[in-house]
A and B are shown apart, each in its own frame.
Chain A
Amino acid sequence: MKSPSPKGLPRALLLTWVALLALLAATLALAYVPMSGPLNVAVALGISAGKALLVLAVFMKLFRASALTRAAAAAGLFWLGILFALAATDYLTRTVEPAGELSAPTGRNLPAEGR
């Protein structure tokens, strides 16, 4: 359970912090680079996943935790996957209403309010 260095600042934590800040700088810079199609968001989310993995592995010590604990963490991701996958079967297979209809269900008639 104990980290190698008993005193002072543990090197692994410091390096992880530096890596997190470097990845933040990378994602910020790459966001301004025009890429084809959905590549920008794919890169941004990929870097986020990398940062999250660093936090999970080093700060939260997930991969050194008990099997039960790792199963709980995996269950969260698994059900998130179910949520997105089953929702996608609906949203990706039907026609989307135009944005102009968004205000209708609230009963407000936005254009008449003199916008």
Chain B
Amino acid sequence: MSDARREPWPDPSPEPQYATMAQQAEAASFGMWVFLATEVLFFGGMLLAYAWARGSFPAGFAEAGRHTKIFIGSVNTVVLLTSSFTMAWAVNAAEHGRRRPTAWLLAATALLALLFLALKGVEYHQEWTEHLVPGLNFREEGPNAHAVELFYFLYFMLTGIHGIHVTIGIGLIAVTMVRAWRGAFSERYYTPVEVTGLYWHFVDIVWIFLYPLIYLVGRSGP
């Protein structure tokens, strides 16, 4: 390990099933895109449930949406969009063989992701104290109480599973960062940075759609 620190790893040759490094890189990125297609459907089922519930109980969803913490939600969107930017920059640095910038940019991405989770935690805590957690301490009055509960059930499911994806992303980015720092990547081989980036941008895209569905509901109403 200490040798690897001093000297970049030798230029890798492709695994036996590939003819060239380019073909191997393309297969890896294709594999990630296929996985992301399944992820679209994984979140799709929950989004369908949301669409049905919102279409069925528009007044309840508008009321529930006004309970969401729009300031934290908006700041978190800025955080996640910025983390996607630093991730794309890291991939760019990696493809030019700039290994220390790659590692620093990956570190920035992981720190922004941690900040996202921390703010999400603050938000969950506020929702807990306001008795908005279905099944555990939900307490809401009025004719729309059940629809508000349904909204918060979907909210915790969607943001919870998104949060798990963010957590997995932090792990992937951290491992990739250490490898980049130790010089595992070069202009010829940076596939792990690229594939981790694809995953991270997907997590960002999910949030891009969750943001209006959660925080912007019912804002133009009374």
A residues less than 8 Å from B89 (CB atoms): 9-10, 13
Task: List 17 interface pairs A-B (beta carbons < 8 Å), by A numbering.
Answer: A3-B95, A7-B96, A10-B92, A17-B81, A28-B70, A34-B221, A40-B216, A44-B216, A45-B209, A56-B201, A60-B198, A75-B37, A77-B40, A79-B41, A80-B44, A83-B45, A84-B44
In the bound assembly, the distance between CA atoms of A55 and B209 in angstroms comes to 12
Q: For A87, what are the chain B residues with a Cβ–Cβ distance below 8 Å?
A: 48, 52
Chain A residues with CB under 8 Å of chain B are 1-3, 6-7, 9-10, 13-14, 16-17, 20-21, 24, 27-28, 31-35, 40-41, 44-45, 47-48, 51-52, 55-56, 58-60, 65-66, 68-69, 72-73, 75-77, 79-80, 83-84, 87, 91, 96, 99-100, 102-103, 110, 115
Contact A52 B60 (CB under 8 A): no
B36:A52 contact, CB within 8 angstroms: no
Bound-complex Cα distance A103 to B146 (A):
8
Check A72–B139 contact: CB distance below 8 A: no
Chain A residues in 8 Å Cβ range of B30 = 66, 68-69, 72
The majority secondary structure among interface residues of chain B is helix
| Nearest-neighbor residue (CB-CB) of B85 within chain A | A17
Q: Is the CB of B29 within 8 A of A65?
A: yes
Question: Any chain A CB within 8 A of the CB of B24?
Answer: no
A60-B201 contact, Cβ under 8 Å, with A24-B77, A32-B219: yes
Decide: A52 and B209 in contact? CB cutoff 8 A.
yes
A58 touches B139 (CB 8 A): no
Closest beta carbon of chain A to B175's beta carbon, Å = 20
Contacts of B149 in A (CB 8 A): 102
Which chain B residues border A20 with CB–CB below 8 Å?
81, 84-85
Residues of chain B with a CB closer than 8 A to A73's CB: 33, 36-37
Distance in angstroms between the alpha carbons of A44 and B73 in the assembled complex: 15
